[in-house]
């Protein structure tokens, strides 16, 4: 049984799934599509083309589907697509895509967005990502699954954050962020601080995989070899381990260079 508070404004063309709740003073526009069992708290705004899956919880004062903060945007029809079982806390903002970026800002499943975090136009966020308070993505950023964006961190346009990456609080990220690794730093001075051992253990990675990643990290960042040479050595010695293979592939495919 869907419940809509009398003070909420829900456009008659909006599609609201079964067993949803819409809190007081919330606005839902005509192009919004909600799946089942979504909880939309008070004072939220969902407008433009917005699609949510099932079992999402928007706590309060969340704004989803606002036009992109891009001067090139001229009102073209673009959208936000959000998966299922996400928790989106107070004052989070998620903007629509732009034609130049594919037209879609896309978020996966089981994401936690803490208060004041922001996802800009044309971003793609994988499953099980955590945004701490005021973690911010500029346009066209891709974040891999199980990554963590620390509080008060900002990620530059077009950066890629690898799977299981951990970005420490207060970081300014201007290059791609390596998977499995802890990265912290100020603008232009971001540094890695080893494999995120505790985080990977909590995610169920095997001791053998973690040890292989540690060995690869030592070759890549603590040896005296040229970096290109170190990548080749790590591949030769440890490239048979799937996690190391992904790390090395991420390095080779990076377009902005990596934080190291």
pLDDT tens digit sequence for 90-127: 999 999 999 999 999 999 999 999 999 999 999 999 99
Do 127 and 220 share a domain, yes or no? no
Tokens 């701490």 -> residue: 132
Nearest to 22 by CA among 34, 50, 31: 34
Do 15 and 136 share a domain, yes or no? yes
Do 205 and 136 share a domain, yes or no? no
Q: Which residues contact 62 (CB under 8 A, 6 or more apart)?
A: 40, 41, 44, 45, 88, 89, 90, 91, 92, 93, 94
Whether the predicted pLDDT of 137 surpasses 80: yes
Do 11 and 133 share a domain, yes or no? yes
Token digits for 167?
């970005």
Nearest to 214 by CA among 199, 197, 228: 197
Q: Residue 229: which CATH number? A: 1.20.1180.10
Whether 178 maps to a domain, the answer reads: no
Do 101 and 29 share a domain, yes or no? yes
Q: What does the pLDDT read at residue 130?
A: 98
Query: Which residue in the list 23, 41, 83, 139 is annotated as catalytic?
Result: 139
Q: What does the pLDDT read at residue 188?
A: 62
23 has catalytic annotation: no
Residue 228 parent element (H or E): helix 227-238
Of 98, 116, 140, at which residue does a domain stop? Answer: 140
Query: Which residue in the list 122, 163, 176, 235 is annotated as catalytic?
Result: 122
Whether 50 maps to a domain, the answer reads: yes
Whether 169 maps to a domain, the answer reads: no
Beta-carbon count within 10 A of 115 CB: 18
122 has catalytic annotation: yes
**Which domain range does residue 245 map to?**
200-253
Residue 208 parent element (H or E): helix 207-217
- β pairing state of 191-195 and 181-184: antiparallel
pTM: 0.92
Do 131 and 205 share a domain, yes or no? no
Q: What does the pLDDT read at residue 1?
A: 87
Whether 148 maps to a domain, the answer reads: no
Q: How confident is the model at residue 260 (pLDDT cuts 50, 70, 90)?
A: confident
Q: What percent of the chain has pLDDT over 70?
A: 99
Do 118 and 219 share a domain, yes or no? no
Do 121 and 213 share a domain, yes or no? no
Q: Which residues contact 131 (CB under 8 A, 6 or more apart)?
A: 111, 112, 113, 114, 117, 149
Of 140, 162, 189, at which residue does a domain stop? Answer: 140
Whether 145 maps to a domain, the answer reads: no
Do 204 and 111 share a domain, yes or no? no
In three-state secondary structure terms, 231 is helix
What's the chain's length in residues? Answer: 260
Q: What percent of the chain has pLDDT over 90?
A: 95
Nearest to 110 by CA among 36, 56, 179: 56
Q: Residue 107: which CATH number? A: 2.160.10.10
Do 29 and 136 share a domain, yes or no? yes
Q: Across the chain, what does the average pLDDT equal? A: 96
54 has catalytic annotation: no
Mean pLDDT of 250-259: 92
Estimate the crossing angle of helix 227-238 against helix 242-253, to 10 degrees: 150
Whether 70 maps to a domain, the answer reads: yes
Whether the predicted pLDDT of 191 surpasses 90: no
Q: What does the pLDDT read at residue 67?
A: 97
- Domain count across the chain: 2
Q: Please, how many CA atoms are within 13 Å of residue 146, restricted to the half-sphere of its CB?
A: 16
Token digits for 68?
């992109």
Report the chain's C-alpha Rg in angstroms. Answer: 20
In three-state secondary structure terms, 160 is strand
Q: How do residues 20-53 score in pLDDT, each as one tens digit?
A: 999 999 999 999 999 999 999 999 999 999 999 9
Whether 194 maps to a domain, the answer reads: no
Of 90, 106, 140, at which residue does a domain stop? Answer: 140
| Calpha distance 212→208 (Å, rounded) | 6
Do 10 and 92 share a domain, yes or no? yes
């Amino acid at each position: 049984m869907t419940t809509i508070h009398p003070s909420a404004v829900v456009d008659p063309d909006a599609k609201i799934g079964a067993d949803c709740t819409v809190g007081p003073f919330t606005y839902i526009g005509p192009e919004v599509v909600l799946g089942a069992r979504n909880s939309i708290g008070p004072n939220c705004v969902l407008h433009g083309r917005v699609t949510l899956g099932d079992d999402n919880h928007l706590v309060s004062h969340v704004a989803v589907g606002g036009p992109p903060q891009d001067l090139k945007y001229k009102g073209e029809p673009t959208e936000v697509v959000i998966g299922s079982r996400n928790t989106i806390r107070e004052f989070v903002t998620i903007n629509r895509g732009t034609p130049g970026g594919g037209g879609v800002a896309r978020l996966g499943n089981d994401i936690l967005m803490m208060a004041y975090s922001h996802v800009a136009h044309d971003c793609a966020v994988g499953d099980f990502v955590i945004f701490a308070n005021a973690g911010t993505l500029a346009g066209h950023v891709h974040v891999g699954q199980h990554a963590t964006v620390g509080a008060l961190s900002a990620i530059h346009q077009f950066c890629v954050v690898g799977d299981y990456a951990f970005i420490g609080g207060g970081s300014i990220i201007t290059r791609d962020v390596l998977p499995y690794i802890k990265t912290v730093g100020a603008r232009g001075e971001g540094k890695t601080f080893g494999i995120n051992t505790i985080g990977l253990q909590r995610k169920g990675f095997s001791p053998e995989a973690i040890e292989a990643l540690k060995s690869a990290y030592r070759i890549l960042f603590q040896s005296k070899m040229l970096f290109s040479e170190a990548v080749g050595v790590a591949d030769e010695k440890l490239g048979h381990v799937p996690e190391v293979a992904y790390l090395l592939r991420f390095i080779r495919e990076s377009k902005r260079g990596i934080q190291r």
